[in-house]
Amino acid sequence: MERQEFLAKLGISMAAICTGCSLVGCGSKSNDPSPGTTTNNPPAPGSGTVFSINLATDLQTIGTFKVASGVILVRLAADNVASSFTAVQVACTHQGTSINYNANQGKFICPNHGSQFSTSGAVLLGPAAVSLKQYTVTVNGDTLTVMA
């Protein structure tokens, strides 16, 4: 095999390898949900009580959170009033990965592709393009209830 023939075959092989790499990268796969869908099935708006917790024993520290029924509930402030909490869907609107709350930054972050959301669920940084659904929080004595 001559040098020119070898280099030509090498170039074709490398192109095939690089194309294969991009196909298995960060893009959509057949089992990934479409953008804007979620796999954690957040409660539908208006469907009623999602869950309740006892504030005497749960979420006593600012920045702590609880995940239940497709919702992430976070304590943002010390008082036991509704405005001291936020509740949003736990599934990122990009590909449905469960988000986390970063107390130091005061925002939700998706560990999969880095989307970031405000405490009200608004998109701060993509690739997500759709806001998280936010749920109503009520407090009655020591009982906090998340409503859809």
Q: Is the pLDDT of residue 107 over 80?
A: yes
**Which pLDDT band holds residue 49 (cuts at 50, 70, 90)?**
confident
Provide the CATH topology of domain 32-147.
Rieske Iron-sulfur Protein (2.102.10)
The amino acid present at 145, given as its one-letter code, is: T
Please list the helix, strand and coil fractions of the chain in percent, rounded to the nearest 5, in that order. 15, 30, 55
Q: What is the pLDDT of residues 66-101, one digit of tens each?
A: 999 999 999 999 999 999 999 999 999 999 999 999
Q: How far is the C-alpha of 36 from the C-alpha of 82, rounded, in Å?
A: 28
Query: What's the pLDDT score for residue 48?
Result: 84
pTM for this entry: 0.71
The beta-carbon contacts of 37-40 under 8 Å, at least 24 apart in sequence, are 37/96, 38/70, 38/89, 38/91, 38/92, 38/93, 38/96, 39/91, 39/96, 40/70, 40/89, 40/90, 40/91, 40/96, 40/98
Residues in the chain: 148
